[in-house]
Amino acid sequence: MVIALIAHDGKKPEMVSFAMKNEDALMKANLSAIGTTGKRLKDTGLKVTKLFSVPIRGDAQIAAKVATGEIEAVIFFGDLVCMQPHELDVSMLKRICDVHNVPLAAIPATATLIVKKL
């Protein structure tokens, strides 16, 4: 299974914590992550394919991979407290996941359900 991992700046520590708690399951998957999230996850020892960062449309790159069947699940921990400058790109990614019937987890509880199915 190929899983994309994305986290807004305020949620990166939560993503790293999630990854460490679910390390055994995530090691069975092929992981892709954008920008700094990818770097932080690699620093934990997980094997992660780093994609573009947000300013150069990493979220659009993930959406394209979802649309072509290259990514089978997305875990996206967004910071709902702060308005994000690329909110339209986030909405586009969510729509692409819906259209292509790809699971998208926005919180650790749902993300855990996805990785337990590995």
| Residue 2 in domain | no
pLDDT digits (tens, 9 = 90+) for 58-89: 888 999 999 999 999 999 998 765 655 566 56
* DSSP-assigned states of every residue in 67-111: HTTS--EEEEE--SSS--TTHHHHHHHHHHHHHTT--EE-SHHHH
Whether residue 81 lies inside any domain: the answer is: yes
Q: Which domain holds residue 60?
A: 7-116
Confidence at residue 82, expressed as pLDDT on a 0 to 100 scale:
61
Domain-embedded: residue 1 = no
> Two tokens at 96?
């692409």
Q: Considering the domain boundaries, does residue 26 fall inside one?
A: yes
Say what the pLDDT of residue 48 is.
Answer: 96
Note the pLDDT of residue 8.
86
Q: Does residue 67 sit within a domain?
A: yes
Report if residue 94 sits inside a domain.
yes
User: Of these residues, 9, 24, 43, 59, which one is catalytic?
Assistant: 59
* Contact between 90 and 1 (Cβ < 8 Å): no
Domains of the chain: total:
1
Our answer to whether residue 59 is catalytic in this structure is yes
| CATH number, domain with residue 82 | 3.40.50.1380
Q: Which residues of the chain have pLDDT under 50?
A: none
Q: Exposed, middle or buried by CB within 10 Å (0-12, 13-18, 19+), for 95?
A: exposed
